[in-house]
Amino acid sequence: MRLTALPAFQDNYIWALQAPDGSTMFVDPGQAQPVLDAATQGMRPAAVLLTHHHDDHVGGVAELRARWPNLAVFAPEDERIHLECERVGEGDRVESAGFTFPVLSVPGHTRSHIAFHGHGHLFCGDTLFSLGCGRMFEGTPAQMLASLRRLAALPAQTRVCCGHEYTLGNAVFARHVDPTNAALHRRQQEAMDMRSRSRPTVPSLLASELECNPFLRTHAEPVRQAIAARLGRAPLDEVEVFAELRRWKDGFRA
């Protein structure tokens, strides 16, 4: 099994998981061309997995279908995805190319966002990023926090395959919130080094996100204290910590 991050647009990744026989699952092909190119390199498209309806995640599917009419496409229940595809949700399993991926419902970035977890990999679209999380376009803080907690509870050795290369920008904010976190400092240095060599900073290990990502650390004292300083009082609960952290990041300019 081989995992590849195919760059698309400015900072998206299309994830390709290839079985030993060459059949490959592609996650969130917002553009067709990177997949068409990968196919010439021996990746045989067996299935497409979609995490949410945003165009930079689904935009390439129609063109891929034109090229491979029998391509299986799995997508969340959402009328904004105008494709003939198999709709999946919480508790379902996607089976293709010898892979089995249980589906998790993780609303918050969008109301129908799903994630796929299996074979040590998590494909989480725009819910969890390395050192950050997605914007809450359609969900409440309580909903998004619950979704992130579900992902945080997966095995620590899970490889987090997110939808965007946002790690460096996220690191600047995370360091601002949690400046004394040594693991976060190391992760920032590592990510800077990878980007200076034009390499993806993801997948990251969930264990590392648990140590470094402030959005998974709303229970941690340094993060609570940073939020208390902004609020001018102790936060009521973790939902308030998360809500204020997300609001802070939305307005943050490095």
Question: Which amino acids are annotated catalytic?
Answer: 52, 54, 56-57, 109, 126, 164
Question: In angstroms, what is the minimal distance from the CB of 166 to Zn ion?
Answer: 12
Closer residue to Zn ion, CB minimum distance, 166 or 173:
166
Residues numbered 111-140 forming contacts with Zn ion, rule: CB under 5 A = 126
Question: In angstroms, what is the minimal distance from the CB of 26 to Zn ion?
Answer: 17
Size of the site for Zn ion (CB under 5 A): 2
Question: In angstroms, what is the minimal distance from the CB of 137 to Zn ion?
Answer: 7
Residues numbered 9-68 forming contacts with Zn ion, rule: CB under 5 A = 54
Closer residue to Zn ion, CB minimum distance, 126 or 244:
126
56 belongs to an annotated ligand binding site: yes
Written as one string, the DSSP assignment of the chain is -EEEEEEETTTEEEEEEE-TTSEEEEE--SSSHHHHHHHHTT-EEEEEE-----HHHHTTHHHHHHH-TT-EEEEES-TT--S--EEE-TT-EEEETTEEEEEEE--SSSTT-EEEEETTEEEEETTEETTEE---SS--HHHHHHHHHHHHTS-TT-EEEESB--HHHHHHHHHHHSTT-HHHHHHHHHHHHHHHTT----SEEHHHHHHH-GGG-TTSHHHHHHHHHHHTS--SSHHHHHHHHHHHHHT---
249 binds Zn ion (CB under 5 A): no
Task: Please name the amino acid found at residue 235.
Answer: P
Closer residue to Zn ion, CB minimum distance, 54 or 224:
54
37 belongs to an annotated ligand binding site: no
Nearest in space to 27 (alpha carbons), one of 80, 92, 74: 74
92 belongs to an annotated ligand binding site: no
164 belongs to an annotated ligand binding site: yes
126 belongs to an annotated ligand binding site: yes
Residues numbered 69-88 forming contacts with Zn ion, rule: CB under 5 A = none
Q: Which two tokens stand for residue 231?
A: 């609020």
Closer residue to Zn ion, CB minimum distance, 54 or 249:
54
Closer residue to Zn ion, CB minimum distance, 24 or 51:
51
Written as one string, the DSSP assignment of 98-116 is TEEEEEEE--SSSTT-EEE
Question: In angstroms, what is the minimal distance from the CB of 36 to Zn ion?
Answer: 23
Question: In angstroms, what is the minimal distance from the CB of 134 to Zn ion?
Answer: 6
Binding residue numbers for Zn(2+): 52, 54, 56-57, 109, 126, 164
Binding residue numbers: 52, 54, 56-57, 109, 126, 164
Interaction site with Zn ion (CB under 5 A): 54, 126
